Structure 1
Amino acid sequence: MKTIMYLITILTLVSFQNSYAAPKVGKRAAARYFQGEVASNESDVANQKVASSIEPLSPEDHFLTFGFSNYVSSDSYKWGQNGKEENVGKWGLDMMYRIGQYNNLIDQGIRVSYNEFEAVSKKASKLSFMYAITLPDAGSQFPLYFGMAAGPGVFMTQLEDESSLSLDYQLYLGLRLFNVFEKTGFYVEGGLKNHLQLTSDGQLNGTYVSAGAVFTF
């Protein structure tokens, strides 16, 4: 009799252990399992988007670039002397503000440049205000861009008997990435920076490189 009671006790304990160890099955258990899988997958996708995506700009968004530029080469003609002088252009600061978009094709902007020069061993500086068009528009997500800008230039310091006003025009090609760090990106750019003095014969033809930050808002 004791042996039978002993066997019954062992079987009872084993059955309780198996009931706790056996996995839960059925519709409710399956539903909870698949809900957990879906939530996990959605979380992974969201994390990937936060980590790797760079949101494109909409037509209503604005951006402002600010960077440092340096002349690679520059030649002046009849600026402070009758002949030609090389390496007149020095360094500069460049800023461009996007004011709008046209037909999902081009961006319109205001481009402001400050540049310093040294002609016939005398320093000069100029502030330029230009209207700019850039292709493609910022919403295209294509990193390469090119454009042109033109407008008046005002010399802050100028050589004696030279014009204090100029007609400035620029051609540029660059690479830009928006929203790399929240609302901040970066750009690198190169191109032409030229001007014609309006009330004198001086002019400048130069090439430059520039790099800086892009802020969106």
Structure 2
Amino acid sequence: MDPHRKDLYPDVTASGGLGPAMREAAQLRECDTGVAPWAVDVVCIETTRGYLSVRPATEERLFRLSVGIPDFDWEIGSTGDLGLLVEAVAAWREGMPFDELAERFGFMELDAFAGALERGEPASSQWAELLSADFHRRQWNLLRRLHADEVLRDMFPTITHGAVRLRVDAMDSTSRQVLVYEVSRELYEVLRVGVPGAAWTEVPSGGLIACLRAALNEE
């Protein structure tokens, strides 16, 4: 820990790291944060609503709280109060509804995506975001085509180096997934991610949907 942070976080330094400090603060407040016994400076907590991570800011005393799923990590608030932080983490893990979280913990900023995560609908929110983002305009044609299919629209989409990634389970980075790259309106390249020996395969436009359905539904 650098000297500047020592001045900002004397309680963390005295405890021997962020993990021990959070565990001590939680014990004082009789709440369960789920911070692993071995966590010291890096804190990442698995929950049913994504992975919570805590990172101290360097420019001022702030504990930055983020939630993540594979390929995504976004900040949901920050506070300089370690006690308030651990209470919020414990409430999140216990499944407190997001509107109650926002009301009880004023520092939390729970956006539309967080709401979709709570409802178990991250895919629909992500499709809406990608299909409206100018940054992904080059992928709009492919995204619209994939979203039009009743099976593929249930997959979680992301953009990776210009290709559209479809994952069966948004919360599981090891679940079945494919990458799709639009070479032209008539030709696509598909890669089955995580399959030993898999390589990019050219797929004509007419066979694209069937190819993706088969790859994502394999057991």
TM-score normalized with structure 1 length:
0.22
- Report 1 or 2 for greater relative contact order, CA contacts < 8 Å, sequence distance ≥ 6: 1
Q: Which has the higher helix share?
A: 2
TM-score normalized with structure 2 length:
0.21
Which of the pair has more CA radius of gyration? 1
